[in-house]
Structures are given as structure tokens and as C-alpha cells.
Amino acid sequence: MRKTFVRTSNYERFSAGVAAVENRGAAEAGMMLVYGQPGYGKSEVLTNWAVDAEAVFLRANIDWTPRYFLVELAKALAVDPRGSSEQLFNRMLAVIATQQIPLVIDEAEATLKNHAAVLEKIRDFSDRTETMVVLVGMENIQTGIAKHPQISSRIAQVVEFTPASLEDVAMTCQQLSEVPIAPDLVAEIHRQSAGRMREVMNAIACVERVGLMNGLAEVDMAAVEGMSITHDWRARRPRVVSRKRAA
């Protein structure tokens, strides 16, 4: 598979949200919330954006305390993590403010425990440096954040990641697979994956392998008939390609 980042409709909505935050009216409202079910491509989109924006990307840990978070952030910023929490905070505040470094916090639900103590610390950085903070989580994160008005009032944009459309899947197949994938098989990948990009990627890898091994100019439904290209983790069984079922 080609190592290319595909700009799906979720990416386009996220990019529009970023632009809106960057052009916000209230300087202190510099936070953005991204949420959605697993497999819809949140982490991949945010990881790629973090690289392009030279942002710090951290995955929140359930064991995080404000001090633990500060130390992890210091490591990511290559800042001396020694000293008191106040000294550490001020040291990083100067770096973030001077360089205008955005922060991305994945699995942000973990920052809500203990009355959102960690998220309050993250908010402090956003308020005092006016830099963007992107919080990434599951569907229920909105409910959790809504319990803390001092934080929710700082969120300028909310972006939901939804299932990939057929057009998204077709574009992904075209850009990533080294062997062309026929429209009927693209539709089958979309159907089986239910728009979960994680499963789409796995299916493309499988289909591409069939095409390369057999020297095919294009892989269609007939070429993978009876084969498993995705896996139903809930039912704990592979999903088999069947032209009859697809019809």
C-alpha cells in the first residue's frame, strides 16, 4: 500500500473547524472538540495534522494527574521537567506562548476525572497563550465536558467524525492501493466496513495482496469471491465476499 494521507470528508470538516478556531472572535475560546466512534479515522487525521501544524500530540492516560500531565508535556516539548509544578508550568508556558505551539490531546476522556483537574490545567495553557487545543474523544465526551462550564465555554468548534462515505472509500482505494480496485469491490468494502476507515485500510491491504500475487490489472468481486477481507470483531468471525449477498 502507498504511504499517502487521504483527505476524506472527515478531514475536510476537521480542517474547516480548525480554520474557524483560528479566526475566532474571543481569544480565550481556543479549544476544539473532535469526537466519534472508534475506527472513523480520528487519530490518523489528528496525527497528520499535528505533524503539519508542528503541534504536540499527547495520548491521555487514565493515571494522569496535573503533575503527570505537565511532565509528559515537558518531555514532548523538550523542556526540563524538574522543579515544582509551578516552575514547570511557567517554563512550558513561555515556550508555548513564544512558539505558538498547538496541543492535541487524544483519548481526552481521561482528563475529566477528579473534577477535570487535568483538563483545567490544559485550559490554563490555552487561556494564557491563546494557542489552539484540540481535544479528541469518544461520543460521550461532550456530556462530560458540558458538566464544566468554565471549560465548555472555551470550545469554539465541535467536529463529529462520521462513517466514511462510498466516495471516501473509493478515493482511499484509488490513492492507497497499488492495484486498481473495481467499483463493485469498492462498494463491497464500503458495505462490509460500515464506513470504518480502520477496516477499509485492512481490506485494501488484503485486496492489493491478491492483485499483486496473481498479477491482476484490476481486482474485482470475482477475484476475491469466498475470501475474507474484513473481520466482524463483535461476532468474532470473518466477513466473506459474496456476490450474491452484495446483490
Consecutive H or E run containing 238 = strand 237-240
Residues of the chain short of pLDDT 50, as ranges, are none
Task: Write out the residue range of the structural domain in which residue 41 sits.
Answer: 9-160
The CATH number linked to 229 is 1.10.8
Are 110 and 189 part of one and the same domain?
Answer: no
What torsion do the CA atoms of 127, 24, 160, 56 make, to the nearest 10 degrees?
A: -50
Question: In the chain, how many domains are there?
Answer: 2
Structural domain contains residue 4: no
CA within 13 Å, CB half, 143: 3
pLDDT value at position 231? 84
Q: From the CB of residue 223, how many other CB atoms can be counted at a distance below 10 Å? A: 18
Query: How far apart (Å, rounded) are the C-alpha atoms in residues 81 and 91?
Result: 9
Q: Are residues 186 and 216 in the same domain?
A: yes
Phi/psi at 143 (5° precision)? -60, -40
**Domain membership flag for residue 210:** yes
pLDDT value for 227: 92
**Digit-coded pLDDT (tens) for 11-47:** 999 999 999 999 887 777 789 999 999 999 999 999 9
pLDDT on residue 245: 61
Check: CB of residue 2 under 8 Å from CB of residue 172.
Answer: no
Do 24 and 139 have their domain in common? yes
Query: Is residue 1 situated within a structural domain?
Result: no
Answer yes or no: is 29 within a domain: yes
pLDDT at site 246: 59
Query: Cell for 148?
Result: 464544566
Give the 3-state secondary structure of 59-119.
ECCCCCCHHHHHHHHHHHHCCCCCCCHHHHHHHHHHHHHHHCCCEEEECHHHHHHHHHHHH
Same domain, 138 and 40: yes
> Residue 128: inside a domain, yes or no?
yes
Q: Are residues 233 and 155 in the same domain?
A: no
Tell me how far apart the alpha carbons of residues 198 and 148 are, in angstroms, rounded to a whole number: 32
User: Residue 3 domain-assigned?
Assistant: no
Shared-domain flag, residues 43 and 133: yes
In a domain, 170, yes or no: yes
- 142 and 33, same structural domain? yes
Find cell 449477498 and name the residue.
245
Q: Is there a single domain that holds both residue 78 and residue 199?
A: no
Same-domain check for residues 170 and 136: no
Q: Read off the CATH number of the domain in which 83 is found.
A: 3.40.50.300
Residue 87 lies in a domain: yes
Q: Are residues 215 and 139 in the same domain?
A: no
188 and 155 share a domain? Answer: no
Q: What is the helix (H) or strand (E) element at residue 135, kind and residue range?
A: strand 133-137
- What per-residue confidence (pLDDT) applies to 93? 96
